[in-house]
Structure 1
Amino acid sequence: MKISGKELASEVYQDVQKKLLMLHQKKVVPQLVIVKSSNIDAVNNYISQKIKKGEKVGIEVKVVDMNERDCENRKLIQKKIIGLNKSANIHGIIFQKPSNSQIDEAIEELIDTQKDVDGFLENSFHKPPVYRGVIKVLEKIFNLEGDEFIAYLKTKKVVLIGKGKTGGQTIISGLKTEGFNREQLTIIDSKTSEVKKKEYLINADIIISAVGKLNPVDLNLFSKESILIDIGVHFDERNKIRGDFNEEDIQDRVGYYTTTPGGIGALTVAYLMDNVVNAAIHTIIN
């Protein structure tokens, strides 16, 4: 059964709109700043999605374009990020991936944890939007929320394929904060043997794929009762966004699944906007 990320995202936006109404009544317009250092199609595609969604819901989205020369100048980077941190009108800052810069982490570590709406920093005020999207899908499938959902999730065997920073690592860190241990979360990466992959996948209740290439594992290893959540992203030969699996290849192999596009990506943008709004609310309260 296909789980629509777009439908679930609409639920998130309903909550976002309620918060925005309160902010707008107080003359506060949440603002997100996207720092980019690359002009490749993937980056521009992601930024365009966020700008359009921000305009639609009432969040101002601005882009700070840093070229390669800028990114080689650490002092210039520090000055720009610190300036964004100090601005009371800016509530969220993200560094758009992928990028040509060799110092992405150095840039990200300068972002104020209150404004780290991507949730990548260790002490971030926010949970990563990707992680929140995955949890939303699972809550929908299990029809549970809160502590009851987490307790039930811990009874399941979760397998994560890939552990990149923007995908897999957000799932690892998110589940760790919920008290997951190594027995409850198994990770498959490039060093995992084929024998172990088979063992893990055949017995998995939930599979989260975060590789960024087509069919990273043997589809025959999926159980028809399992849940497959695809958070991997790549662009095909026609420059169209795609996930780790094609829908026609998996729809009859698993019990529940998400697709790309129309799956976790839609939820990720929704929760990014929610994080920006929450950051704006936090500035009012404090």
Structure 2
Amino acid sequence: MKVVLGDYPRTRAVKELPGHEFIEFKPLPPAFARMVRTLEFDVCEMALATYLQARDHGVPVTLLPVVMIGGTHHRSLTRLPDAPKLAPGDLRGRRVGVRSYSQTTGLWVRGLLREEYGVEAADVTWVTTEEPHVAQYTEPPFVERSDAAKVADLLKSGDVAAAVLGPRAVGGQGEGLVPLIEDAEVAGRAWVERHGTVPVNHVVVVRNAALDENPDQVDALYAALKEATAGAEPPVAAGWSEPLAKALEIGGRYALEQDLVRTKVDVAEIERGAARWSQ
């Protein structure tokens, strides 16, 4: 099979499985678009929001119950260190930069803004530097596209008041930026305690035709991922679980509230599709 997985220490042993072509992407997100637009790969790591949108538009992929990365995102909403302090509620009527409106980090950030500060997605103009991975998706009217190369450039040029940056971008293009939310780590822990789960960023999907044609190979790859993620820090894990179901339910609800998907996400249906890997 053609397989795309991120470059993590835990995936290196998985990529030694014989009989597969493991394709490397650096950065990884362009692989998500190629998977949902052309089904180019048999198994592919995928951002949660991309998976939810692909499912919403009938893309024939099935979720493998494997979480590759995740974490809280209160620290992902950033500002310039020398800019005037800005409370989350002050974002109403302002412009906020994000790589794509459908980026999963943005999904979680907008969710917490609504839940904890009463800021609706439509209260903000979201300025993006990339289009959605799912070509069929039409962005809402409060989303704008910029020709800036990077999200941090929008912030540094003064085009936006704040910027949403994923975990790797925070330490890269976002170096020197500070969280807009004070005590972001404390707020993140409170979110986890309140919901009983940790936000999920990347999962794994399999092309339905590949699952039909090579179920044993898919099962073997899943078993290798399960072994590789054993003992990892939550939410990284393999196997259907209550925390995964909660993360899918909350992420799906956030996606519907933000007009990322147009129909309610049926977590029970996703679980039925992943039943063969429930243990």
Bigger relative contact order, structure 1 or 2, given CA contacts below 8 A and separation 6+? 2
Which structure's residues are more often strand, by fraction?
2
Structure showing greater radius of gyration is 1
